[in-house]
Amino acid sequence: MSRKQQVPRPGGDLGGDDSGCPILHVDMDAFFASVELRERPDLVGTPVIIGAPGPRGVVLSATYEARRYGVHSAMPMTRARRLCPRATVIPPSHGRYSEVSRGVMEIFRTVTPEVEPIASDEAFLDVSGARRRLGPPAAIAAMIRERVAAEHRITCSVGVASSKFVAKLASQHCKPDGLFVVPADRVVDFLHPLPVAVLWGVGERTERSLARLGVATVGDLARTPVETLQRELGRSSGAHLAALAWGRDDRRVTPHVPDKSIGAEETFAADVDDPVEIRRELLRLSERVAARLREGGHAGRTVSVKLRRADFTTLSRSRTLAEPTDVARELYSVACELYAASGLEGALIRLVGVRVENLLPADGAPRQLALGERETGWREAERAMDRAARRFGRDAVLPASLVRPRPEEGRP
DNA sequence: TCTGGGGTCCTTCATCGA
DNA sequence: TCTGTCGATGAAGGACCC
């Protein structure tokens, strides 16, 4: 569910000629909510909000009926409930969404191998190579929409254009359950009346900066000297937005984008100031991150810790290691040192996170035993834990400090 | 009103070696 | 020997995306 402004319908008559438009952007409509409604057909046509229960949840998805009350994704659940008290609230079932997402991506791959998923509910497709077999892009888009609806009982919207960025705007423009073509020679006509906030890379802050320059629409942006934009927004962002304003976007559809970082973070149900509890959470997160590193065959060199205070100010600290690692114990030890050096021991903390950057393949990663380190150590122990987890579930083997006491025993 | 979790990318500043 | 410059790299923070 996009948080961006809805792309308004442009004036004039667009649509039609798709000959220079090999890029498709497919976006599921209210994805999580639509998947839930398959199980709850009685709720179709009513306001439904998908969001984590608990005092600190946010909206993950909402039906269009709920959106009419102003509900949108990332909104605090407390506020969403106030705006739309009669909405049915359903806690998310991520496993089910992943399953549907995999199925939908499979449909895309029967059309072309050039599929770039950008989230569980959207993807870019380059259909240049599929034209002879399946027809023009708009026909391919219509076929995809039919198959997704028939095989998964959810709807999607498809934008067809000459570039990724315009295709994405086109799909937003025809939501929900639509198909829209922006002919290659009509890109500027389509873009210029739109508000700048619809552009990728223009969030709240950038919109405010642009407003100070008197820039409200993409057309205004196009007429602003690139030097002015660079001065206001930075070199790279300024040049990037100036290009987008004229529809220039030569990024290709790339099916395999390598991971750059892997991390995990957790917001406490209530703020915590006990360093023992914070370190226990750092261990849990390190275990999670390391398991995902190993699962993906990655090792990483830079470990970073994120700490969000009760007042929402956020601090991050990182350290680059001499050698890459995928071992939870090593991540945990660095994370604890970073936490200790942060000056926040004893401070009231709302969220902690652990992330590993500078990833490289674990196979090729150099590994030198530290002085006194045994050849069979944590790495092997954690691989054994991975095997146990695959057989018996993620919680089958845990570090002793993470084992919760059974109520009848009172101790771990 | 009170803000999740998983990411990417960019900017700025500091440090270090050539 | 000292100083300035430049590029690479690392660290930190922020904006933005879904």
Has residue A311 been placed in a domain? yes
Q: Going by DSSP bridges, is the β-strand pair A156-161/A59-62 parallel, antiparallel, or unpaired? A: unpaired
Quickly give A244 CA vs C6 C1' distance in Å: 33
Residue from A36, A65, A116, A122 carrying the catalytic annotation: A122
Q: At a CB cut-off of 8 Å and minimum separation 6, what does A382 contact? A: A290, A291, A294, A327, A328, A329
| Segment A133-157 mean pLDDT | 97
pLDDT number for residue A411 = 41
Has residue A218 been placed in a domain? yes
> Does residue A129 sit in the same domain as residue A241?
no
Range of the structural domain that residue A397 is part of:
261-409
| Segment A136-145 mean pLDDT | 97
CB-count exposure of residue A325 (10 Å: 0-12, 13-18, 19+): buried
- Number of separate domains in chain A: 3
pLDDT number for residue A11 = 44
**What are A357's strand-pairing partners?**
A261, A302
> Does residue A140 sit in the same domain as residue A218?
no
Quickly give A246 CA vs C3 C1' distance in Å: 48
User: What is the CATH classification number for the domain harbouring A172?
Assistant: 3.30.70.270
Q: Which residue has the higher pLDDT, A42 or A212?
A: A42
Has residue A229 been placed in a domain? yes
Query: Can you read off the two tokens belonging to residue A57?
Result: 């949840």
| Contact between the CB of A19 and strand B at under 7 Å | no
Q: Check residue A55 and report its DSSP letter.
A: T
Instruction: Give the confidence band of A410 by pLDDT, cuts at 50, 70, 90.
Output: very low
Has residue A9 been placed in a domain? yes
Q: Is the pLDDT of residue A79 over 60?
A: yes
For the question of residue A122 being annotated catalytic, the response is: yes
> Does residue A292 sit in the same domain as residue A339?
yes
- State pLDDT tens for residues A173-193: 999 999 999 999 999 999 999
- State pLDDT tens for residues A194-239: 999 999 889 888 898 899 889 999 999 999 998 888 888 888 888 8
Quickly give A235 CA vs C12 C1' distance in Å: 20
pLDDT number for residue A369 = 54
- State pLDDT tens for residues A3-20: 666 676 544 445 578 889
| Segment A339-353 mean pLDDT | 91
- What phi-psi label fits residue A192: left (phi over 0), alpha (psi between -120 and 50 degrees) or beta? alpha
pLDDT number for residue A385 = 73
Has residue A251 been placed in a domain? no
Has residue A102 been placed in a domain? yes
Has residue A236 been placed in a domain? yes
User: What is the CATH classification number for the domain harbouring A405?
Assistant: 3.30.1490.100
Protein-contacted bases of chain C (C-beta within 7 A): 9-18
- State pLDDT tens for residues A99-129: 999 999 999 999 999 999 999 999 999 999 9
> Does residue A267 sit in the same domain as residue A395?
yes
> Does residue A270 sit in the same domain as residue A369?
yes
- The count of residues in chain A is 412
> Does residue A224 sit in the same domain as residue A268?
no
Chain A 251-270 residues in 7 Å CB range of strand B = 259-267
